[in-house]
Structure 1
Amino acid sequence: MDITLTELEQAINHWRTLHPSHGEERALSAEVDTLATLYALMIFHRRSSLPLADAKPEARQLIEDWRTRKNPPA
């Protein structure tokens, strides 16, 4: 399964809501930082989508968790 840039933006916003930046420096949470790194790499390599298998395990888990929360099982 792939992740698109648009979906990745939605996942980042989801995790930003759950774990907002903190401190005077407004540091990103570990979750947002992980996904932001993937986002930056996709932009750098001009990818509009990416197979989840190509993402690091941490990013893949965050995306899978976001998808589950977005579409809970019936």
Structure 2
Amino acid sequence: MYQQPVAVTIAQLESAINHWRDRRPASDEDQTVLCAEARALADVYGFLIFSGAPSVEYSTLNAMQREALAAVLR
């Protein structure tokens, strides 16, 4: 059974984004376009980089971000 984390680290987000990029790569070779799941996680990743925070509280993630992350962390 999947147990949601209390906090999500920047490393976990990076791993999840890479998972989704591998699973659903951009269809246009001329443009790098992230799938919806990777895009949702990239928003949080960018916030952590910008703020210098090492992690974010899981409870602050929206439904799409939680689903995209849960699919990878199970």
TM-score band, normalised by shorter chain:
0.7 to 0.9
2:68 to 48, 62, 70: 62
Q: Indicate whether 1:47 and 2:63 are aligned.
A: no
Aligned to 1:13: 18
Offset at residue 60 of structure 1 (A): 1.1
Aligned to 1:4: 9
Amino acid at match of 1:60: R
Query: Of the two structures, which has the highest relative contact order with CA contacts closer than 8 Å and spacing of 6 or more?
Result: 2
Alignment TM-score, normalising by the size of structure 1: 0.82
Amino acid at match of 1:53: S
Where do 1:16-35 residues align within 5 Å?
16-23=21-28, 24-35=30-41
Counterpart Cα distance in 1 of 2:44 and 2:38: 10
Q: What root-mean-square deviation, in Å, do the aligned CA atoms of Structure 1 and Structure 2 show?
A: 1.1
Amino acid at match of 1:6: A
Q: Which runs of 5+ in 2 are unaligned?
A: 1-5
